[in-house]
């Protein structure tokens, strides 16, 4: 039997509000027989009964990203899609879906704003209207300068949070589409509440406000189609009013004040706001939602007398609670990641972020929760309830971008399972519309270096295709005129002089992440969309390097938080100078110049840009030659033989083949010198285990993973971590903390080890982009008796499970329809090639 299990349009299931003029269709196949291959497909797209596109029967095994090829699509229109496929035995399967276009640039509404001057309350924009006809369908298209929430007839019309999301607002603003057919009545009240959010709130460093503008504003259209085929449109204009409501204060860093006793007595006329509409785009990635709710696990009274609730997991989101309390009573929730070594509430690492929500009670039974803020926390301190608190009435609402979970990893080692748990929760906590560095302190910025080192691991854990597609477009939008890439995206660190400083390994996200996404999902559109940005970055590096072909200018983060400066590693004291590690920053910069150029050449080749292939291939040869002349001796020694220095030389193929064995041996000797421990920072840590495995020292890589002493991946696990830490020793062995100025306990970058765990321990990696051709080649390490997991590729589920009994390996694999796999074995026997289906090897 052949079955189409899923069909998507631009990665989405039955999307509404898309503005892509040529959407792509993808589907997954299932079959009850092995070696099933798609032989043919046919796609039909209709509007009502009119056929806009019929692909005909196409003899092809392509089942992903097939571009619409019909006549032009119209705005605000629903299209029906039918797909039929035939396998190699001509067994047929069919499926249907639909998609609906958005406004596609045709706005009728006007931006409206308020005239509040000194109030910190959130403005609420209001419109009342009546409907006298039978409704067939209704859609709201809306966006805001700020973050907004929609209510229609007192009902929240969506489960999304922080819309329209964080983009480079002056260049790109997303709008959302909502189906409100079931919400409309004869008499209707439409309310739009807008908070400062990322647009104009207190955000970035130095307590800055009004980063993009100084006015909250709304743009909205409600399109109603009636059963008699007539239409009406309600838009934001001068007829709207505004007031304020119970949200008296709202800032992302600091929290909210919600006054349930507040009643708005007056409404005021809105003002038309002159702001462009040409930069408005439809929603590009999945929205932020409450993905799950966690129960409180314990009520604590600290030695200092605070009442603290423990949710058992460091997370990103907010807390909701229910209850009936005396009218006017103030209940305050303060958030923290950890308790100190004495068991007291610890907030020093939040820096200036207050992370506090205050609720003034109504006297009635209510649900209390914020709407426009989020916190990074495991613990909350509760004041205003006394010492008797019913923790069953408290829930921690976990917020993040609603990415589909695609990867699982489980093994016989309890601490490694907790490490995997921490990696995934670190991603959940920091993939909130943009890939933030941390969710708790006064930062929460889209640092490019963190995202770059973690991108491959991220794509195993969750489907990040749309998430990074949106973020990379903002990267391109915020690039400097010369191609410079800011430290954070969107660029919230804008400087008065207009300059855009860049750092190696951070700015290289412009090239590395698109290539990583392409390898994970097989979608060339990501390369096409980012090609100009990628090329601009390489050209910027080339201009900085000049005829020397070495990047030896500017300030860089180096091997950020590297531990190999003697001052840091021995004394374990914070030092700004020591934070960059001891690997020469220009060595790192030139190494990444070579690596990004190599990836750009591969990108140009994939897209058929032959002129660029030749041009940048010549550049690459010059970089490699210059690097070897500058940084290697005639006998193959590196000028910079730190752990990270040797890792980059091996990973990026910067040295001659004949020298790699010697460098690898010296790398291993360095690790042994440091008592089988790493001393790398952000840059080196992500390459450590992969390079060791690829160069014949898989056993050393395994020992590093299993290390439990500081610094190691498992040390934080032994200290009770439930997410990845920013620093290897955020909590020291004696229970004290590292310097609070930079000590996040939810920082995903060191979770990049997950890529190696999936690829080498579980054994799943791609040979062809998108896992059309798969490599299954698990590599066991000491103390692991079994490993199992899966990866949900764009073709379907790839499953692996293996057990070791003595020297005997039992391996079970599952390969999706329309794919094939090369099965490798740790004993070195001949690789086997299999098609789709389930297999067992002994």
Specify whether the CB–CB gap between 153 and 181 falls below 8 A. Answer: no
The residue behind tokens 């190699």 is 88
Number of H helices and E strands in the chain, helices first, is: 15, 46
What is the reported pLDDT for 207? 79
pLDDT at residue number 500: 86
Q: How far is C-alpha 388 from the geometric centre of its chain's CA atoms?
A: 39
Whether the model pTM is above 0.75:
yes
> For residues 269 and 260, what is the distance between their CA atoms, to the nearest angstrom?
25
- Give the residue numbers marked as catalytic: 443, 726
How much is the pLDDT for 349?
A: 97
DSSP 3-state of 113: strand
Region at 480 (left for phi over 0; alpha for psi -120 to 50; beta for the rest): beta
> What local confidence, expressed as pLDDT, does residue 575 receive?
41
Closest CA to 477 of 455, 510, 505: 510
Instruction: Using 70 as the pLDDT threshold, list the residues of the chain that sit under it.
Output: 566-578
Question: For residue range 698-732, what is the model confidence (pLDDT) as tens digits?
Answer: 999 999 999 999 999 999 999 999 999 999 999 99
Q: Under 8 Å CB-to-CB from 672, ≥6 apart: which residues?
A: none
For the chain, which domains are there? 2-101 (2.60.40.10), 112-252+262-282 (2.60.120.260), 288-401 (2.60.120.260), 763-841 (2.60.420.10)
Residue 542: strand, helix, or coil:
helix
Question: What does each C-alpha distance from 237 to 273, 330, 742 come to in angstroms?
Answer: 10, 38, 46
Edge to edge, the sheet with strand 123-130 lists 155-156, 147-152, 187-195, 123-130, 241-244, 268-269
Between CA 333 and CA 68 the distance in angstroms is 51
Phi-psi category of residue 242: left, alpha or beta, with phi > 0 → left and psi -120 to 50 → alpha: beta
Q: Is the preceding omega at residue 480 within 30 degrees of 0, hence cis?
A: no
542: left (phi over 0), alpha (psi -120 to 50) or beta: alpha
Which of these, 517, 482, 515, lies nearest to 498 by C-alpha position? Answer: 482
Which element (helix H / strand E) includes 595? Answer: helix 585-606
How confident is the model at residue 117, as a pLDDT?
77
Q: In whole angstroms, what is the distance from residue 763 CA to residue 825 CA? A: 10
Strands (E) across 202-324 are located at: 217-226, 231-235, 241-244, 247-251, 255-259, 268-269, 271-272, 280-282, 288-295, 298-301, 307-324
Helix, strand, coil percentages in the chain from 3-state DSSP, rounded to 5: 25, 30, 40
Partnered with residue 447 across adjacent β-strands are 488
Q: Which helix (H) or strand (E) holds 126?
A: strand 123-130
| Host H or E run for residue 195 | strand 187-195
Q: For residue 749, give the nearest of 476, 397, 457 by alpha carbon.
A: 457
Identify the bridge partners of residue 792 per DSSP, sorted by sequence position: 797
């Amino acid at each position: 039997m052949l079955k189409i299990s899923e069909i998507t349009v631009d990665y989405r299931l039955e999307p509404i509000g898309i503005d892509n003029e040529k959407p792509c269709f993808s589907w997954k196949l299932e079959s009850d027989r092995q070696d099933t291959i798609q032989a043919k497909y046919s796609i039909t797209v209709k509007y009502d009964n009119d056929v806009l596109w019929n692909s005909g029967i196409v003899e092809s095994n392509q089942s992903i990203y097939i571009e619409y090829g019909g006549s032009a699509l119209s705005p605000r229109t629903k299209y029906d899609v039918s797909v039929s496929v035939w396998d190699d035995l001509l067994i047929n399967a069919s499926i249907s879906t639909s998609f609906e276009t958005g406004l596609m640039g045709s706005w009728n509404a006007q931006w409206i704003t308020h005239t509040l001057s000194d109030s910190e309350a959130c403005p609420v924009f209001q419109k009342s209207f009546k409907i006298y006809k039978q409704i067939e369908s209704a859609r709201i298209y809306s966006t805001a300068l700020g973050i907004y929430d929609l209510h229609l007839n007192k009902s929240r019309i969506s489960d999304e949070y922080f819309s329209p999301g964080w983009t480079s607002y002056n260049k790109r603003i997303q709008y959302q589409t909502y189906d409100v057919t079931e919400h409309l009545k004869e008499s209707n009240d439409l309310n739009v509440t807008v908070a400062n959010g990322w647009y104009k709130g207190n955000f970035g460093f130095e307590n800055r406000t009004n980063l993009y503008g100084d006015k909250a504003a709304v743009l909205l259209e409600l399109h109603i189609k009636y059963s008699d085929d007539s239409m009406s449109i309600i838009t934001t204009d001068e007829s709207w009013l505004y007031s304020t409501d119970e949200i008296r204060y709202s800032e992302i860093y600091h929290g909210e004040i919600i006054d349930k006793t507040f009643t708005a007595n007056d409404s005021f006329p809105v003002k038309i706001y002159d702001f462009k509409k040409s930069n408005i785009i439809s929603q590009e990635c999945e929205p932020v939602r409450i993905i799950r709710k966690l129960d409180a696990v314990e009520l604590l009274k600290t030695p200092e007398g605070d009442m603290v609730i423990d949710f058992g997991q460091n997370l990103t989101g907010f807390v909701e609670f229910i209850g009936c309390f005396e009218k006017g009573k103030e209940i305050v929730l303060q958030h923290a990641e950890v308790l100190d070594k004495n068991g007291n509430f610890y907030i020093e690492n939040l820096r200036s972020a207050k992370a506090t929500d205050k609720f003034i009670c109504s006297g009635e039974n209510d649900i209390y929760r914020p709407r426009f803020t989020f916190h990074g926390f495991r613990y909350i301190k509760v004041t205003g309830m006394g010492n008797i608190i019913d923790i069953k009435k408290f829930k921690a609402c976990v917020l993040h971008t609603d990415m589909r979970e695609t990867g699982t990893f489980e093994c016989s080692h309890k601490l490694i399972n907790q490490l995997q748990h921490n990696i995934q929760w670190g991603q959940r906590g920091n993939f909130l519309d943009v890939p933030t560095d941390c969710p708790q302190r006064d930062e929460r910025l889209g640092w490019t270096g963190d995202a770059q080192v973690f991108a491959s691991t991220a794509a195993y854990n969750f489907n990040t295709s749309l998430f990074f597609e949106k973020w990379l477009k903002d990267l391109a939008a915020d690039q400097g005129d010369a191609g410079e890439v800011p430290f954070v995206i969107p660029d919230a660190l804008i400087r008065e002089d207009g300059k855009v400083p860049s750092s190696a390994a951070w700015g290289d996200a412009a090239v590395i992440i698109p290539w990583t996404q392409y390898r994970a999902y097989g979608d060339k559109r990501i390369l096409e969309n980012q090609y100009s940005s990628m090329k601009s970055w390489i050209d910027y590096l080339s201009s900085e390097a000049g005829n020397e072909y070495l990047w030896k200018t500017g300030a860089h983060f180096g091997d950020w938080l590297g531990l190999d400066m003697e001052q840091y590693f021995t004394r374990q004291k914070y030092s700004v100078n020591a934070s960059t590690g001891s690997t020469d920053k220009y060595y790192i910069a030139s190494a990444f110049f070579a690596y990004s150029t190599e990836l750009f050449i591969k990108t140009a080749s994939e897209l058929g840009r032959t002129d660029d292939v030749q041009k940048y291939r010549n550049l690459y040869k010059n970089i490699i030659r210059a690097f070897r002349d500058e940084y290697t001796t005639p006998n193959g020694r590196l000028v910079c033989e730190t752990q990270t220095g040797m890792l980059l030389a091996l990973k990026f193929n910067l040295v001659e083949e004949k020298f790699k064995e010697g460098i690898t041996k010296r790398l291993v000797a360095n690790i042994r010198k440091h008592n089988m421990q790493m001393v790398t920072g952000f840059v080196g840590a992500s390459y450590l285990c992969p390079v060791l495995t690829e160069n014949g020292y898989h056993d050393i890589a395994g020992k590093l993973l299993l290390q439990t002493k500081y610094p190691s991946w498992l040390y934080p696990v032994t200290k009770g971590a439930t997410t990845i830490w920013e620093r290897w020793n955020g909590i020291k062995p004696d229970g004290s903390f590292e310097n609070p100025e930079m000590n996040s306990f939810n920082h995903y970058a060191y979770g990049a080890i997950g890529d190696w765990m999936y690829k080498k321990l579980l054994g799943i990696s791609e040979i062809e982009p998108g896992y059309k051709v798969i490599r299954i080649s698990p590599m066991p390490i000491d103390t692991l008796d079994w490993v199992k997991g899966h990866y949900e590729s764009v073709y379907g589920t790839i499953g692996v499970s293996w057990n070791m009994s003595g020297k005997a390996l039992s391996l079970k694999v599952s390969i999706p329809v329309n794919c094939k796999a090369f099965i490798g074995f740790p004993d070195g026997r001949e690789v086997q090639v299999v098609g789709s289906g389930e297999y067992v090897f002994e």
